[in-house]
Amino acid sequence: MSRLDEQGFNTRAIHAGQEPDPATGAVIPPVHLTTTYKQDGVGGLRGGYEYSRSGNPTRDALHEALASLEEGVRALAFASGLAAEDTLLRTVCRSGDHVVLGGDAYGGTFRLISRVLSEWGLEYTPVPLDDPDAVRAAMRPTTRAIWCETPSNPLLNITDIARTAEIAHEAGALLVVDNTFASPYLQRPLTLGADVVVHSTTKYLGGHSDVVGGALVTSDADLGERLAYNHNAMGAVASPFDSWLVLRSLKTLGVRVDRHCANAARIAEFLLDHPAVASVLYPGLPDHPGHAVAASQMSGFGGMVSFRLRDGEDAALKVCERTKLFTLAESLGGVESLIEHPGRMTHASAAGSPLEVPADLVRLSVGIEDVEDLLVDLEQALS
Ligand code: PLP
């Protein structure tokens, strides 16, 4: 067999960190539901484990799999995406430091920075990350990180990762990429110059809408050590069972995301031709402003499609309430299709801020059902 790091993505998704259990031969790694580990004499740790906040074999298996898929040197699994973000920001920033973030960052990320960490002295500037002059102008001597989501939630804007990494590094800052929407199957930011990848594993990595989790992956071993220290010291770790659920789901990430992409592309084309729709935001469409960059840094355009209604907010709310197969719910990335109104739901916390989203916007998380059924559902909801 070839070395693991030479194997393809799907092979690593199934095998990295997931060898059959040496004790029993179980093909699937066990869920190690234990808080603590017997010591053979004081300090005599078997396998290095002493307490499950500090280390757990199921969570370690997930760490290994995530590091392999993102092509990083260290991965850490957290209780949620926001817990991962909080640990990262409080590891790399001190009071008086500054972060540049996309003008359309996820509302929860914006809330964490603008409402929670700002109270501890973190400063921030939202900018359009697709405008390199604006990004350069926003950098300060105290800027520790550029925080980028590409594709972004919910406007599906695209940022050139390699170019933004250059701007960050010129200023001595880190480039953090939230890779939740693309997943490592479609895009591997660390290979393009990013320093840290953030995930809400709640989404495509978990894939079945049954686990809330987060992850950090880095290509910098020293930063990985500091993050691992705070992972334990701050304690926002993923539970063994949640780790196992994500690990189980990684095995099918590639086939799921292929289908998400194919269904989303059909739906974007359908919406483009629909008279009730004013515009469709999907990076796979040739006239999307970020199409060329997306095509160069992603191997597919993802399963998220947003669109704006000609008749404004009321029309957007009605579509959300009329669909039957698309369930009206927050979140994304599961096998089932979801619909939501970002302005009133996922991004309500950005209301009144520079990150407020348009009121006529609807966001779809396109699932892996038969696409003809999804099209029938959207047609009846739009008519
Ligand atoms: N990043 C993005 C792009 C998200 O969409 C979300 C949640 O929706 C998060 C981070 C936060 O993740 P979690 O909800 O797992 O805390």
CA of 155 to the centre of ligand 1 (A): 15
**Two tokens at 177?**
């990429």
Q: Which domains does the chain have, with CATH numbers?
A: 4-250 (3.40.640.10), 254-382 (3.90.1150.10)
Using most ligand atoms within 8 A of CB, pick from 113, 129, 147, 153 the residue to mutate for ligand 1: 153
pLDDT in the model for residue 2: 47
Sequential DSSP letters for 268-303: HHHHHT-TTEEEEE-TTSTTSTTHHHHHHH-SS--S
Atom of ligand 1 nearest to the CA of 109: 10
3-state secondary structure of 226: helix
CA distances (Å), origin 347, targets 304, 353, 356: 16, 11, 7
Distance (Å, whole) CA 228 – CA 235: 10
Q: Which residues of 331-347 are buried (b: 16+ CB within 10 A; e: fewer)?
A: bbbbeebbbbbbbebbb
| 53 in catalytic set | yes
Amino acid at 148: C
Using most ligand atoms within 8 A of CB, pick from 82, 101, 237, 340 the residue to mutate for ligand 1: 82
Residues with CB under 6 A from ligand 1: 80-82, 106, 108-109, 149, 153, 178, 180, 200, 202, 212, 214
3-state secondary structure of 103: coil
Atom of ligand 1 nearest to the CA of 214: 15
pLDDT in tens, the chain (383 residues): 345 668 999 999 999 999 999 889 999 999 999 999 999 999 898 889 999 999 999 999 999 999 999 999 999 999 999 999 999 999 999 999 999 999 888 889 999 999 999 999 999 999 999 999 999 999 999 999 999 999 999 999 999 999 999 999 999 999 999 999 999 999 999 999 999 999 999 999 999 999 999 999 999 999 999 999 999 999 999 999 999 999 999 999 999 999 999 999 999 999 999 999 999 999 999 999 999 999 999 999 999 999 999 999 999 999 999 999 999 999 999 999 999 999 999 888 888 887 789 999 999 999 999 999 999 999 999 99
Atom of ligand 1 nearest to the CA of 201: 15
**Residues 93, 346, 131, 352, CA torsion sign:** negative
| 38 in catalytic set | no
pLDDT in the model for residue 28: 95
| 322 in catalytic set | no
Main-chain phi, psi angles of 255, to 5 degrees: -70, -35
Widest Cα–Cα separation across the chain: 74
**Residues 235, 53, 107, 315, CA torsion sign:** negative
pLDDT in the model for residue 1: 39
